[in-house]
Amino acid sequence: MLARQYDFVVRRVGRLARSIAFLPLLLLSGCSVHHLSRQFLLFRPAGPLSGADLRFTLLDVAVMLGIIVPTAAVTTFFLLRYRKTNTNAAYDPTWSHSNLIELVVWAIPLLTVAMLGYYAYRGTYAVDPFHPRLLKGTRAAPVAARPPLRVDVITTDWQWLFIYPKQRIATANELVIPRGTTVDFHMTSATVVNDFFIPNLAGMIDIMPGMRTDQVLVADKLGTYKGYSANFSGGGFSWMGFKTHVVSPRRFRSWAQSVQHAPLHMDYAQFNAFAKPTKNIHGKTYEFSDVKGRLFDQVIEGVLKGKVYTTQLPPPGSA
């Protein structure tokens, strides 16, 4: 048995050596500033919500750096200036109190927190996943008078199901949304807690079994963005991603019509088959037509009544 494992390791080491040959290339490509900057998904918002997240991040960092940099500088200066070997520096072996300094050192953080606290309040309401104030204007007077699109999201172990109830279609591990339209996500999980996260478009929000959480977002820029679960949910978690295609409203309509002819269908029984624990290592996607309207509610009701999609016991020390 050990011999077999030995052979196995030798073979794999060969494969590793071959793949390491590409390593300098990858590092080079990583060094290309343009290429690398595109990888900072949080700095490249494609919608108002993620844009607001970024603005608040920059604001927070700016304010904090305004305090931390001087503090670090002063501390370093004190440490060097008043080192024991510097005999020119003053030495005051009993000085340990000053009302003025105490007042200042309490006032500085207090004022900072007061200011950041105000922005925290503004920001929390602005990007609240259920009713973002940021999108209120667009809701009252919708962009191009388009009604919002509803998408029901169900996570399983370890796949994504996106249901478009009005279009009676669904996709798995792939999300298509029209640009400039408010997309209203209703989310639940069939099994354990996941997080809905599309770095370029929207921050994280938990998806929990037996409960519904929401996320509302608008995408401004066409393109394909990575989405994934951000909350650990078991063995297939690392492969639990989905591509988000932001397309023009016209293309969205034609895409939805084409999916309405997809050969696969989806009702609760088919969902239960789909929800068997699956590691989506190869990134497979599916399209479903004739999706039952109540599926989302049925999944929640099923979970509340005790439906579980049991994980099988793996042998110790292995998969």
Partner 1 sequence: MVNVQGPWSPILGRLSLGAIPDNPIIAGAFIFSVVLGIVVLGYLTYADRWGYLWREWLTTVDHKKIGVMYIIIGLVMLFRGFVDALMMRTQQVLADGPHSPGFLGAAHGYLVPYHFDQVYSAHGTIMILFAATPILVGLMNVVVPLQIGARDMAFPYLNALGLWLTAVGAALIMLSLFLGDFSHAGWVGLTPLTELAYSPGVGTDYWMWAIQISSVGTTLGAANLIATIVKMRAPGMTWGRLPIFTWTALSTNIIALTSFPVLGVALGLLGLDRYFGTHFFTAGFGGNLMLYSDLFWMWGHPEVYFVILPAFGMMSEIIPTFSEKPLFGYVTMVAASFAIAGVSWSVWLHHFFTMGASPRVNTFFSVATMVVGIPTGVKVFNWAFTVYRGRSRFETPMLWAVGALFMLLVGGLTGMMLAMPPVNYSVHNSVFVVAHFHTMLMVVVYGILGAVTYWFPKVFGFRLNESLGKRFFWFFTAGTIMVFIPMYTSGFMGMTRRLDYLANPALLPFEVAEELGIGLYLVSIYYFVRQLYVSLRDRNANRVSADAWGSARTLEWVAPSPVPFYNFAVTPRVHARDELVWRREQGLEGAVPAHFEDIPMPRNTAVPLVIGALALGLGFGLVWRMWWLTDLSFVAIILTVIARSFVRDTDYVVKAAEVERIEKRLRQGAAEAARNGASASGIDVLRPRESSP
**Contacting partner 1 within 95-134 (CB under 8 A):** 95-98, 101-102, 105-106, 108-110, 112-113, 116-117, 119-121, 123-130
Contact with partner 1 (CB under 8 A) among 100, 140, 141, 313? 313
CA 147: distance to chain centroid? 26
Binding to partner 1 by residue 295, rule CB under 8 A? no
Q: What does the block give as tokens for 268?
A: 């609760």
Cβ of residue 151: shortest distance to partner 1, in angstroms?
A: 17
Which parts of 171-190 interact with partner 1 (CB under 8 A)? 189
How far is 124 from 247, CA to CA, in rounded Å?
Answer: 29
Q: Examine residue 242 and tell whether it contacts partner 1 (CB under 8 A).
A: no
Phi, psi of 67 (to 5 degrees): -100, -40
Cα distances from 93 to residues 20, 90, 96, 136, 215, in angstroms, run 59, 10, 9, 61, 60
Complex with partner 1: residue 6 or 293, whichever CB lies closer: 6
Which region, judged by CB under 8 A, interacts with partner 1, from 59-67, 159-167, 174-182, 253-261? 59-67
Q: Please tell me the distance from the alpha carbon of residue 202 to that of residue 50, in angstroms, as a whole number.
A: 5
Angle between helices 48-81 and 99-126 (to 10 degrees): 160
State the DSSP string of 94-108: T----HHHHHHHHHH
SS3 23: helix
Among residues 4, 93, 100, 145, the one that binds partner 1 under rule CB under 8 A: 93
Q: Is 222 left (phi over 0), alpha (psi -120 to 50) or beta?
A: beta
Q: Which residues in 69-88 contact partner 1 (CB under 8 A)?
A: 71-72, 74-75, 78-79, 82-84
CB-nearer residue toward partner 1: 65 or 146: 65
* Length, in residues, of the chain: 319
The token pair at 91 is: 């030495």
Name which of residues 252 to 281 contact partner 1 (CB under 8 A).
279, 281
Determine the size of the site formed for partner 1 (CB under 8 A): 126
Part of the chain binding partner 1 (CB under 8 A), chosen from 144-152, 165-173, 226-234, 290-298: 226-234
Q: Is 224 in the site for partner 1 (CB under 8 A)?
A: no
* Site membership for partner 1, residue 191 (CB under 8 A): yes
Indicate the pairing of strand 264-266 with strand 286-291.
Answer: parallel
* Window contacting partner 1 (CB under 8 A); options: 148-156, 255-263, 268-276, 305-313: 305-313
Instruction: Identify which of residues 138 and 229 has a Cβ nearer to partner 1 in the complex.
Output: 229
**Contact indicator for 122, 130 with CB cutoff of 8 Å:** no
Tell me if 296 contacts partner 1 by CB under 8 A: no
How near is the Cβ of 154 to partner 1 at its closest, in Å?
13
Q: Which of 7, 67, 146, 257 binds partner 1 (CB under 8 A)?
A: 67
Stretch that binds partner 1, among 2-10, 144-152, 167-175, 260-268 (CB under 8 A): 2-10
Q: Are 218 and 138 in contact (CB under 8 A)?
A: yes
Q: Which 149-168 positions form the footprint of partner 1 (CB under 8 A)?
A: 157
- Give bridge partners of residue 266 from the DSSP assignment: 291
Residue 83 or 284: the one with the smaller Cβ distance to partner 1 is: 83
What's the CA gap between 155 and 172, in Å, rounded?
10
